[in-house]
Structure 1
């Protein structure tokens, strides 16, 4: 799952080298902490959070196939 998220985020930003994703596994849940360069944060969140919601929806679909819940946090 982390690879899917990483591919999506790196394709959204200008500075792909600054992307880091930390994975925190629980029993039935996974939390991803996504860090990007400050200049790219707006691109990842999008207007009114549309891009962030789309990324979360895609990851929720991927996680449901593994019977897990996923949370994505975008961190500066």
Structure 2
């Protein structure tokens, strides 16, 4: 899942070396924390959050086979 997020995000940003993805797993959920360069924040979020919503949709669909809920948090 981490590789999927990295593949999607690095193709969108100007500074792919600054993309950092961390994960935290609990009993019934997995939270991925995505950090990008501050200049790339607008590209990852998109107008009215459309790009971020699309990324989350793909991740939720890819993780639907798991028994855990998947969350994606985006930060600078």
- TM-score greater than 0.5 by the shorter chain: yes
User: 1:14, 1:62 → 2: CA distance?
Assistant: 25
What's the offset of the Cα at 1:67? 2.2
Segments of 5+ residues of structure 2 without an aligned counterpart are: none
1:15 corresponds in structure 2 to: 15
Say whether residues 1:74 and 2:74 are aligned partners: yes
- Report the Cα offset of residue 59 of structure 1: 0.4
Q: Which runs of 4+ in 1 moved over 2 A?
A: none
What TM-score, normalized by structure 1, do the two folds share? 0.95
Give the corresponding residue for 2:47. Answer: 47
CA distance in 1 between partners of 2:49 and 2:38 (Å): 16
2: CA distance, partners of 1:11 / 1:59: 16
Aligned residues: 76
* TM-score, structure 2 normalization: 0.95
Question: In the aligned structure 2, how far is the partner of 1:5 from the partner of 1:69?
Answer: 16
1:25-64 paired onto structure 2 within 5 Å: 25-64=25-64
